[in-house]
Structure 1
Amino acid sequence: MTPHHAGTQANSASTFEALMAEVMAIAERFGHREHVHLTWLAVRRCGVPAAVDLVSDGIQRTARYAGAPQKYHATISRAWVELVGHHAAELGEGDFTAFVDHHPALLDKRLLTRFYRPATLASPQAKTGWVEPDLAPFPWQNGD
């Protein structure tokens, strides 16, 4: 690992930890809503491409630390960041509660089943890398 890469990774880790602390300051547990909140903060502060890396790396690190690295899923992580980012760009709501009130589907943990077959998400390819939706395109892919 190059010194620059190590510094970028450390910065990413501290940014993720700061976002996590911000979310948990108003939450009792880290459930799906808190995942969406953390993702919304990351997208608003860093933009979607950087948020994909930030959130994916943070979740992967957290899963490894918890002794459950198999829980990390590359496609699910990226898809959620891209969905939250797409909707965050629409109206630019200034607070998370207004955002989820306007986009309640994002609070549905099963939302990705609108875009992916279960077998696709269960595949090794989807767990370790990016797989495109195979049931329906994402909203920004079909011109909506």
Structure 2
Amino acid sequence: MTEPAFDALMAEVMATAERFGHREHVHLTWLAVRRCGIPAAIDLVSDGIRRTARYAGAPQKYHATVSRAWVELVGYHAAESGDDDYDAFADRHPALLDKRLLTHYYRPATLAAPRAKDGWVEPDLAPFPGQDAAA
């Protein structure tokens, strides 16, 4: 069920883009979160990216923690802002357009570990916005 939904989101994002870069990844994630909520978007985006990487002959590029972390961050800011327009959302949250944003939450060694690549690892430098540090 997630494959057609991911493909539809990808087609929507690419209708106005020349290439699929980081901004388009964030756009796809924003659409997924707004349409199905964070928990379902985690599965939808993760499965879609994993499938796309496999299809491109680069399954090693899929990273479970990175995929989920971006959904969590975009989801938090999407709920907070309530923007109905992606460009307005991106303008309001420019930090999300920085591919290095996860370095505020994770040590490089943590993200490089096989455990993080294959499954979810909680942030180890700072909690995501909206999460308390003791959680």
Can you give the 5+ residue segments of structure 2 that lack an aligned partner in the other structure? none
SS in 2 for 1:47: helix
Aligned pair partner of 1:113 in 84, 103, 119: 103
TM-score by length of 2: 0.97
Supply the distance in 2 between the matched residues of 1:138 and 1:100 (Cα, whole angstroms): 18
Supply the distance in 2 between the matched residues of 1:71 and 1:91 (Cα, whole angstroms): 31
Deviations 1:77-119 (A, max 9, x none): 0000000000000021010000011100000000000000000
For residue 141 of structure 1, report the CA deviation from its aligned partner: 1.2
Aligned pair partner of 1:45 in 29, 35, 40: 35
SS in 2 for 1:94: coil
**1:142 aligns to 2:119 (yes or no):** no
SS in 1 for 2:39: helix
For residue 20 of structure 1, report the CA deviation from its aligned partner: 0.2
Aligned pair partner of 2:83 in 93, 98, 123: 93
SS in 2 for 1:13: helix
**1:36 aligns to 2:26 (yes or no):** yes
Supply the distance in 1 between the matched residues of 2:36 and 2:69 (Cα, whole angstroms): 16
**1:70 aligns to 2:67 (yes or no):** no
Question: Percent same amino acid among aligned pairs?
Answer: 80
For residue 31 of structure 1, report the CA deviation from its aligned partner: 0.1
For residue 142 of structure 1, report the CA deviation from its aligned partner: 2.6
Can you give the 5+ residue segments of structure 1 that lack an aligned partner in the other structure? 1-10
Supply the distance in 2 between the matched residues of 1:16 and 1:59 (Cα, whole angstroms): 9
Runs of 4+ residues deviating >2 angstroms: none
Number of equivalent positions = 133
Aligned pair partner of 1:125 in 115, 118, 124: 115
TM-score by length of 1: 0.91
SS in 1 for 2:130: helix
Larger Rg: 1
SS in 2 for 1:140: coil
